[in-house]
Amino acid sequence: MSPKFGYSVYGLDPDRAVKVSGRNLRISHKHAREICNAIKGMYLEDAKILMEEIIGFKRRLPFRRYRKKLGHHSLHKWYAGRNPVKASKEILKILAHLEANADYKGLDIDRLRIIHAAAQKAIKIKNFIPRAHGRSTPYFDTLSHVELAVEEE
């Protein structure tokens, strides 16, 4: 049974490629975009190591698009960065699902390269905080979709 949502990647060889999707994740779509940009083209094991290093504050993720008002850090080849721990934990879970799917298909785990990583905005959870004098302040939370695909080399 195929899912009701579509993937933004087409033309994959079903014998050599695996794709997985995380839908309606409670993470920042901006952090998810930067993580996907960083892990695209990496081997699966290297991407998992990167996520664990970001979670453990051993390495910073360079922020290339969403970098306004970010402090400067001593990063390799880039000045602005951050440690998006919450988003890294969720994407690490998705990488584990990806590895399980590839193992189920019989692919070699050591030769899997991430060929597609994309993050999109999902639904917006609307909430309001009551204020004085009968007013309220909007308190919205934008969820994220993350898609990953690997191919055996």
Token digits of residue 127: 């909430």
Instruction: Work out the mean pLDDT of the chain and round it to a whole number.
Output: 90
Q: 24 vs 27, 63, 125, CA distance in Å?
A: 9, 23, 10
Q: Which of 93, 19, 22, 23 is nearest to 55 (CA)?
A: 93
pLDDT value for 35: 95
- Domains and their CATH numbers in the chain: 17-152 (3.90.470.10)
Q: Dihedral through CA 81, CA 86, CA 93, CA 59, nearest 10?
A: 30
40-93 residue pLDDT tens = 999 999 999 999 999 999 988 888 888 888 777 776 677 788 889 999 999 999
Q: Are 125 and 143 in contact (CB under 8 A)?
A: yes
pLDDT value for 120: 93
pLDDT value for 22: 93
Using pLDDT thresholds of 50, 70 and 90, give the confidence band for residue 2: low
115-125 residue pLDDT tens = 999 999 999 99
pLDDT value for 1: 59
pLDDT value for 61: 87
pLDDT value for 51: 94
When pLDDT is averaged across residues 81-107 and rounded to a whole number, the result is 93
pLDDT value for 28: 92
pLDDT value for 114: 95
More confident residue, 79 or 105: 105
Q: Tokens 């019989």 correspond to what residue?
A: 106
